[in-house]
């Protein structure tokens, strides 16, 4: 029986763990100092608590944590990884830049544990539905691609360590950058008294984009706070490009405003635009 | 017979003029100090040269010039507009910000000529095809909406002077801002070795966006130089919003780079991405 450690049991981590557990994998996680709610979610997903010494004895370790925690997790596990004889494959699946991933790889390297760069694109797997695409990049991808047998949509990403993270940054940059752009422009149109005209024009000439905004605005409001850091990470990813730094600094700025109390009127305006757009696209 | 002055006979101006001339309108323009090619294009479109004294005697004056020339045209015509008894309606149809439009309106006001704010969305009218949407905003729109009888797709834009320009800025901001975003992100993915992976992922999960990029990249290269000023105009339009200023400063920056010799490698990379994307979408 294969043993896989999934850290941590967040929304994505616990959903991936559940899929693995349902397919006969023994899934470990780390619940030290976690809340009762997190412990309950982990247990419900079929995950078992383990100390770090047991976690590094797993066949695979999947790191699925908030971007800011990715490097700290590796720093914590590196001594245990160095002391164990049979090394697990360590996979970083987080929304971090290739630069951050190379730093993580460098922290792990002395332990001798194989390292893979990974990226999860799409929403957490749900019962009965196809899960997100999970890309991996690096030298020996076979142990990860084998998880296709366990209900995960594993993909090989060419280009070596850094390419999967680059793919994640680029994909999130398009998806979330477009929402930032749309929010900024719609708010500008509303200030100029042209909000309704813009909505009518988009309904006629760009119905796909309008439908995207109508669904995207309500979805992004509760996530805007979290996306601020992700926009900064994408700006770092694009760093040699001054234009990229500017655009994603602006994206971070609008998400920060929408997440703060000063942005309340903007949130109301965008949700009203989305509701009217949803209405107009339904009646088309 | 209605007389309409269309200044200047550029690609858009001459196409609008042709449509009007074909529908029985006498179309004047200003050809002083214009090249032989421009004179030939104007003549071919059915436009007749007139001095400013005759232009201000027209029923309507449509200003269709490069954004940077919009204010200068009004300054030039204002004295003649003040001296004529029967005032023409002056319509600014340029891609300028509401602030610029309010400045133009203020320049005209002392002459007593009615002023309308306008915006052209879409490509120049072509023979046999439906033309662009031409929005007008202001007090008495009837003389402009009547041009529907002359083959133009005239639209009323609520919100008063500034709203049509705001609509144009917002629409161009979405359309061209998305291309800037896509160019920046695709170049970042290529640098990280993830260009092909991004293309494959978009083909699967975002085929509409990928098709948009595949068509949009080749189209924008010859226009990138011109779009730099338009991005700065949109940044001005969004001015109270720091995020908008940042995003469109970045958009101006990427278009400037693609238009300059230092951006040659980037142009090549984006065109290759577009060609491969077009290929992959054709084989889908």
Domain that holds residue B205: 166-282
The mean per-residue pLDDT over the stretch A129-138 comes to 92
Which residue among A127, A159, A191 closes a domain?
A159
Query: Are B73 and B44 within 8 A, CB to CB?
Result: no
Structure tokens at B190: 């290529």
pLDDT digits (tens, 9 = 90+) for A182-196: 999 999 999 999 999
Which residue from B minimizes the CA distance to A213? Answer: B174
pLDDT digits (tens, 9 = 90+) for B238-266: 988 999 999 999 999 999 999 998 999 99
| Of residues A98, A178, A192, nearest to B192 (C-beta) | A98
Distance from chain centroid for Cα A86: 30
pLDDT averaged over every residue in chain A = 94
pLDDT averaged over every residue in chain B = 94
Measured distance CA(B160)–CA(B156) in Å, rounded: 10
Which residue among A126, A159, A192 closes a domain?
A159
Given pLDDT bands bounded at 50, 70 and 90, which one contains residue A284?
A: very low
* Cα of B184 to nearest chain A Cα, Å: 6
Residue-level pLDDT at B86? 95
B281 pLDDT higher than 70: no
Which residue from B minimizes the CA distance to A252? Answer: B243
The mean per-residue pLDDT over the stretch A260-266 comes to 93
In a mutagenesis test of the A interface, which of B133, B159, B165, B188 is the best target, namely the one with the most A β-carbons within 10 Å? B188
| Residues of chain A positioned with their CB less than 8 A from the CB of B169 | 188-189, 192
CB atoms B159 and A192 under 8 Å: yes
CB atoms B237 and A193 under 8 Å: no
Give B145: exposed, middle or buried? Use CB within 10 Å, 0-12, 13-18, 19+.
middle
| Reported ipTM | 0.90
Residue-level pLDDT at A117? 98
Residue-level pLDDT at A218? 95
Given pLDDT bands bounded at 50, 70 and 90, which one contains residue A279?
A: low
* Cα of A185 to nearest chain B Cα, Å: 5
| Residues of chain A positioned with their CB less than 8 A from the CB of B119 | none
A155 and A206, same domain (yes or no)? no
CB atoms B166 and A185 under 8 Å: no
| Of residues B133, B160, B253, nearest to A201 (C-beta) | B133
CB atoms A246 and B253 under 8 Å: yes
* Cα of A275 to nearest chain B Cα, Å: 19
* Cα of A284 to nearest chain B Cα, Å: 19
CB atoms B197 and A237 under 8 Å: no
A26 and A127, same domain (yes or no)? yes
A140 and A188, same domain (yes or no)? no
CB atoms A194 and B121 under 8 Å: no
A49 and A152, same domain (yes or no)? yes
B138 and B184, same domain (yes or no)? no
pLDDT digits (tens, 9 = 90+) for A199-239: 999 999 999 999 999 999 999 999 999 899 899 999 999 98
* Cα of A66 to nearest chain B Cα, Å: 22
Cβ neighbours of residue A284 closer than 8 Å, sequence gap 6 or more: A203, A207
The mean per-residue pLDDT over the stretch A123-127 comes to 87
CB atoms A247 and B246 under 8 Å: yes
Residue B83 burial (CB count, 10 A): 10
Domain count, chain B: 2
A52 and A153, same domain (yes or no)? yes
A147 and A212, same domain (yes or no)? no
Query: Are A258 and A221 within 8 A, CB to CB?
Result: yes
Which residue among B159, B193, B210 closes a domain?
B159
Measured distance CA(A12)–CA(A122) in Å, rounded: 10
A83-A84-A85-A86 Cα dihedral, nearest 10 degrees: -150
pLDDT digits (tens, 9 = 90+) for B109-131: 999 999 999 999 998 988 877 88
B206 and B143, same domain (yes or no)? no
CB atoms B121 and A164 under 8 Å: no
* Cα of A64 to nearest chain B Cα, Å: 21
Residue-level pLDDT at A38? 93
Which domain CATH number covers B81?
3.40.50.720
The helix/strand/coil state of A46 is coil
Count the residues in chain A: 284
B112 and B174, same domain (yes or no)? no
B52 and B184, same domain (yes or no)? no
Cβ neighbours of residue A120 closer than 8 Å, sequence gap 6 or more: A12, A16, A64, A93, A132, A133, A134, A135, A168
Distance from chain centroid for Cα B73: 16
B13 and B150, same domain (yes or no)? yes
Beta strand spans in chain B (E) = 3-7, 26-29, 47-49, 60-63, 89-92, 115-121, 133-137, 153-156
């Amino acid at each position: 029986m294969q043993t896989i450690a999934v850290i941590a049991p967040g929304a994505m981590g616990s959903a991936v763990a559940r899929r693995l557990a349902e397919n006969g994998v023994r899934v470990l996680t780390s619940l030290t100092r976690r809340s009762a709610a997190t412990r309950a979610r982990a247990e419900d997903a079929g995950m078992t608590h383990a100390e770090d010494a047991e976690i590094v004895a797993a066949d695979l370790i999947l790191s699925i944590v908030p971007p800011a925690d990715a490097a700290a997790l590796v720093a914590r596990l590196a001594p245990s990884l160095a002391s164990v004889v049979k090394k697990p494959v360590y996979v970083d699946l987080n929304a971090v830049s290739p630069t951050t991933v190379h730093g993580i790889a460098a922290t792990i390297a002395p332990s001798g544990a194989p390292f893979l760069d990974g990226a999860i694109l799409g929403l957490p797997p749900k019962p009965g539905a196809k899960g997100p695409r999970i890309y991996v990049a690096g030298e020996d991808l076979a142990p990860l691609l084998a998880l296709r047998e366990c209900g995960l949509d594993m993909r090989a990403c060419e280009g070596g360590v850094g390419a999967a993270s680059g793919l994640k940054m680029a994909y999130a940059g398009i998806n979330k950058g477009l929402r930032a752009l749309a929010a900024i422009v719609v708010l500008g149109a509303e200030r100029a008294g042209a909000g309704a005209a813009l909505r009518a024009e988009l309904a006629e000439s760009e119905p796909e984009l309008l439908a995207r905004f109508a669904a995207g605005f309500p979805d992004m409001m509760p996530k805007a706070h979290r996306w601020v850091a992700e926009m900064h990470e994408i700006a770092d990813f694009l760093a040699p490009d001054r234009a990229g730094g500017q655009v994603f600094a602006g994206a971070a700025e609008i998400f920060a405003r929408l997440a703060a109390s000063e942005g309340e009127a903007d949130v109301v305006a965008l949700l009203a635009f989305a509701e009217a757009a949803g209405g107009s696209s339904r009646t088309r």
